[in-house]
Amino acid sequence: MTKQANRVRVVFKFKDGQAVDEEVGIDHEYDALLWTAPEHLDNIKEERSKEGDVYSYGIILQEIITRGSPYSMYENLSAKEILDRVKKCSNPRFRPVVPEDYGHPEYHDLMSQCWEEAPTSRPRFDEIMKALKKLNGGKNINIVDNMIKMMEKYTDHLEELVAERTKQLEDEKAKTDELLYRMLPRTVAEQLKHGEAVSAETFDMVTIFFSDIVGFTKLAAESTPMQVVDLLNDLYTCFDQIVDQHHVYKVETIGDAYMVVSGLPERNGNRHAGEIARMSLDLLSATTTFVVRHKKEYRIQLRIGIHSGSCVAGVVGLKMPRYCLFGDTVNYASRMESSGLALRIHVSPECHEVLTELGGYHLIERGPVSMKGKGTIVTYFLAGYDGFDKTLPDLQFAAGLEEHSFK
């Protein structure tokens, strides 16, 4: 039975006046008897009775209502085992089980009457026609038309069900995509979704940001684990909202450390230094109004370091893939942060050069700084840029050198 363009077509193949399976063989002989009344199972070659046809009609009703094959609810039984149980005429009788919420209750009653054990207890087809007429609001309708009508109804319901499940699937897919986009850059995530290999890529010039909280170890020691979790969750939620306003990619957070990059995986000329610089100032400004829930008088002492240079980036891992950055630029940026000061944005000479080229950034020379692996270099502090009018922390409240951990 198929439905196309609001038309339903029922296709049977007839042999000796009976509808039969097109390929009934040894393997299918028991399946073909599932519509057969119990009284005819002992001698399948004898002529069928009208009462037996009514029984068969009851099984067809089960197929239509459940949208499944005869006795489809007994998945663990073979056709032969089902027929053996039907033939036993046990009490209670062995018949298909159809949930009450499937179809109209009166169809259930009619179906149950059609497969009564005693042939004489089954309704005649003229009685079935009267019952169908009543179910169809008094309209005259033949049995095949009624079957078609029921199939149309259930097919429409099935289409609605499929549409609903498809919508649910699309919603879940959207959630999965959103989670993937949080774990990986969107362009990289799209490549993985399409089954493409994501090769490591070299970027000639990017700017990397690192930050940590000066005095965090002491603060954590004075707080409960849950208070520390709440603090970092609140702080990074605040930071994430600011990060989303800039052309940057948040790489990761480890404890109180926060890492961001600009210039990859999407290259943006030499704007990367400016994006990171502006974001750094916005983050530093946000700490002036940030409140620690369990220490409302406490002020976050954010320390930031930024550096510009080349690096390699790629996806690492299969179970929990991560987009990782490699190269000396990463180490250099990390050391700019760890050798910096609280409430300050420590800028490397390479990043200073790019910002100077962009123009409009206010940089203060810090002077020579000894840095592991680099020797003594002249670094800078970023104080603002043309048009920046947000409040920055008052440096007189910055943590003392004894509270810093320099690396």
Tell me, what's the pLDDT at 173? 81
Tell me, what's the pLDDT at 20? 47
Q: Quickly count: other Cβ atoms within 10 Å of residue 97's Cβ.
A: 10
Q: What are the structure tokens assigned to 56, written together? A: 């068969």
3-state secondary structure of 43: coil
H/E stretch holding 303: strand 302-316
Amino acid at 80: K
pTM of the model: 0.59
Q: Is residue 303 within 8 Å of residue 214, measured between CB atoms? A: yes
pLDDT in tens, the chain (407 residues): 444 434 343 444 444 445 444 444 444 678 888 888 888 888 777 777 888 888 888 888 888 888 888 888 888 888 888 888 888 877 788 888 888 777 677 878 888 888 888 888 888 888 888 887 777 765 555 555 655 566 666 666 677 778 888 888 888 888 877 777 777 777 777 777 777 767 788 999 999 999 999 888 888 988 899 999 999 999 999 999 999 999 999 988 888 889 999 998 888 889 999 999 999 999 999 999 999 988 888 888 999 999 999 999 888 877 777 888 999 999 999 999 988 999 999 999 999 999 999 999 999 999 898 888 888 999 999 999 999 989 899 888 887 776 666 55
Tell me, what's the pLDDT at 16? 47
Closest by CA position to 370, among listed 328, 327, 336, 333:
336
Angle at which helices 125-135 and 143-183 pack, to 10 degrees? Answer: 50
Phi, psi of 372 (to 5 degrees): -55, 130
DSSP summary character for residue 399: P
Tell me, what's the pLDDT at 337? 92
Tell me, what's the pLDDT at 144? 57
The Cα–Cα gap between 253 and 318 comes to: 20
Q: Is residue 203 within 8 Å of residue 311, measured between CB atoms? A: yes
Instruction: Please report the domains of the chain, with CATH numbers, ordered by start residue.
Output: 25-141 (1.10.510.10), 200-403 (3.30.70.1230)
Tell me, what's the pLDDT at 365? 92
Tell me, what's the pLDDT at 349? 93
The Cα–Cα gap between 19 and 172 comes to: 45
